[in-house]
């Protein structure tokens, strides 16, 4: 697969989100555990959750882009084009 600039940017962004979430998790469980109290605790783990969510959304977007690219290469058409009578009502 020839990666475009958009593909590279999306993959780098996904790696950044994964590494950030992983780093926050490790630091929160080891080095910063004694400092995370009250609202700081809530904010810190909310930030970690946000990075996890962004990593998941980036992965979903990347999967969709790869599937679109595969469909374009193989010439797969949508089901509406393959089965034109599928959406017609039987009258």
Which residues span the domain enclosing 13? 5-75
Blockwise average pLDDT, block size 10, the chain, 91 residues:
85 96 96 92 96 97 90 71 57 50
Number of domains in the chain: 1
Residue 82 lies in a domain: no
Asked whether residue 71 is domain-assigned, the answer is: yes
- Identify the burial level of 59 via C-beta atoms within 10 angstroms of its C-beta, where 0-12 means exposed, 13-18 middle and 19 or more buried: middle
Q: Which two tokens stand for residue 68?
A: 């679109």
Residue 38, sorted as left (phi over 0), alpha (psi -120 to 50) or beta, turns out to be: left
The answer as to whether 53 is a domain residue is yes
> In this predicted structure, what is the pLDDT of residue 41?
95
How far is the C-alpha of 16 from the C-alpha of 76, rounded, in Å? 33
pLDDT at 86: 57
Which pLDDT score is estimated for 2?
Answer: 75
What is residue 47's predicted lDDT score, i.e. its pLDDT?
97
């Amino acid at each position: 697969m020839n990666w475009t600039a958009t593909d590279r940017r999306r993959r780098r962004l996904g790696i950044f989100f994964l590494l950030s979430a992983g780093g926050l998790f490790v630091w929160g469980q080891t080095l910063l555990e004694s400092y995370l109290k009250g609202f700081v605790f809530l904010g810190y783990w909310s930030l970690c959750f946000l990075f996890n969510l962004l990593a998941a959304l980036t992965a979903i977007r990347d999967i969709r882009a790869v599937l679109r690219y595969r469909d374009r290469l193989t010439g797969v058409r949508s089901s509406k084009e393959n089965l034109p009578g599928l959406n017609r009502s039987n009258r």
